[in-house]
């Protein structure tokens, strides 16, 4: 059973700088309940506020969905839209009205999951990669744990309201750091626009632009912002993840439980400005990810059918190779023994000197 989530921080006015981090005396007070800004390359945490509080993430959950799917699928995969996508559709839910039985590529699902925050796209991805939504959710939790997440439990691939779908600013920064290091995922994460073409059951093309207001011409636009994902639902409030680059440095900013756009974008702007002005500090707290190969993580988290094939393959390799080597060795020993015996008998009869 999942532990209860602290959805609303009881100390939203308290600024808690991490021990050993840069001097935060000039850091801005955050309007959001929790937040964090860290270096994507070194992991250095420049500033944080209640970064381990458990919070509801809403649609920033889709960053982890994308990470698991790009590590276990291919952009060219052609997917038949499953029936259960209708559970993530409705007038109050972000979706692209996928039609069960239609076909769509993995790449198209990834783009629409980020740009339209399409909840039905996330379900279609989960069914394809995990064999089922529950199977994919297991993969999500395995991946989060492998990355070092300790405050999270995911129960849905799209972040729709669920008491058992929670995370922290720290864990989302870990997940986003891994996402920023994946070139395939960054194509979708950093996209500004995308057009979904017609299909057999989709008669008209659909065009989308990013929902992240710092990535397009709005009052919040910032040329340094490279990628990002928005989120909102009734339990979470506004959430925002942002990746920014400047002077050869890449920063990750996460803010959770903001009251409105001004809160999440204002806090993100302040965090980025503050961190970009700080020097590197090797003694500061860092995002800590265990040294585990991505390939191994993907194998552990693979869906049952794919994992069974991998297990069968690895099992066969494990036992067949030593057996073949043993057979060759025994045959060689037998031949050597026969030759030695023949030579010995020939010498005894005087045919060899």
Range 316-331 average pLDDT? 45
Three-state DSSP class for 340? helix
Q: How confident is residue 172, by pLDDT bands cut at 50, 70 and 90? A: very high
Range 23-45 average pLDDT? 88
Range 301-313 average pLDDT? 41
pLDDT tens, 200-211? 898 899 999 999
What's the pLDDT at 315?
34
What's the pLDDT at 290?
87
What's the pLDDT at 70?
98
Q: How confident is residue 350, by pLDDT bands cut at 50, 70 and 90? A: very low
**Which tokens belong to 275?**
């961190």
What's the pLDDT at 18?
38
What's the pLDDT at 339?
61
pLDDT tens, 38-97? 999 999 999 999 999 999 999 999 999 999 999 999 999 999 999 999 989 988 899 999
Of residues 206 and 304, more confidence is placed in 206
DSSP 241-282: EEEEEETTEEEEEEEEEESSHHHHHHHHHHHHHHHHTSPP-T
Q: How far is CA 335 from CA 49, 285, 332, 349, in A?
A: 74, 65, 5, 22
pLDDT tens, 260-296? 999 999 999 999 999 999 999 999 999 998 875 444 4
Q: What is the pTM of this model?
A: 0.79
Burial readout 161-198 (b: 16 or more C-beta within 10 A, e: otherwise): ebeebbbbbbbbbbbbbbbbebebbbbbbbbeebebee
What's the pLDDT at 285?
94
Position 195 pLDDT exceeds 80: yes
Task: Average the pLDDT over each of 16-20, 214-218, 338-342, 344-348 and give the range with the smallest value.
Answer: 16-20
What's the pLDDT at 3?
43
Residue that the structure tokens 């194998």 belong to: 299
Range 293-318 average pLDDT? 41
Of residues 72 and 306, more confidence is placed in 72
């Amino acid at each position: 059973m999942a532990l209860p989530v602290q959805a609303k921080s009881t100390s939203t006015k308290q600024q808690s700088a991490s021990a050993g981090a840069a001097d935060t005396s000039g850091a801005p007070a955050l309007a959001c309940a929790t937040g964090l800004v860290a270096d994507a390359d070194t992991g250095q945490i420049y500033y944080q506020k209640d970064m381990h509080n458990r919070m509801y993430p809403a649609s920033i959950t889709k960053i982890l969905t994308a990470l698991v799917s790009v590590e276990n699928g291919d952009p060219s995969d052609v997917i038949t839209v499953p029936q259960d996508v209708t559970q993530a559709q409705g007038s109050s839910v972000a979706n692209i009205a996928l039609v069960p039985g239609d076909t769509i590529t993995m790449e198209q699902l990834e783009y629409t999951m980020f740009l339209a925050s399409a909840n039905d796209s996330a379900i279609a991805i989960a069914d394809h990669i995990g064999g089922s939504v529950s199977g994919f959710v297991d993969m999500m939790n395995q991946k989060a744990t492998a990355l070092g997440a300790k405050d999270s439990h995911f129960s849905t691939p799209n972040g729709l309201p669920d008491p058992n779908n929670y995370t922290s600013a720290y864990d989302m920064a870990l997940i986003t750091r891994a996402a920023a290091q994946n070139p395939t995922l960054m194509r979708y994460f950093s996209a500004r626009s995308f057009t979904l073409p017609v299909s057999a059951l989709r008669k008209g093309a659909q065009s989308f632009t990013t929902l992240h207001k710092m990535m397009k011409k709005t009052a919040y636009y910032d040329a340094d912002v490279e990628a990002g994902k928005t989120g909102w639902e009734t339990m979470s409030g506004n959430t925002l993840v942002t990746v920014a680059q400047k002077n050869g440095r890449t920063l990750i900013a996460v803010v959770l439980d903001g009251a409105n756009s001004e809160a999440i974008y204002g806090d993100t702007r302040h965090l980025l400005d503050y961190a970009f002005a700080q020097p590197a500090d090797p003694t500061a707290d860092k995002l800590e990810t265990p040294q585990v190969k991505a390939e191994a993580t993907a194998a552990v988290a693979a869906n049952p059918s794919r994992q069974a094939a991998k297990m069968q393959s690895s099992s066969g390799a494990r036992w067949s190779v030593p057996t073949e080597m043993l057979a060759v060795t025994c045959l060689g020993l037998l031949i050597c023994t026969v030759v030695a015996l023949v030579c010995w008998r020939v010498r005894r009869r005087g045919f060899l000197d």
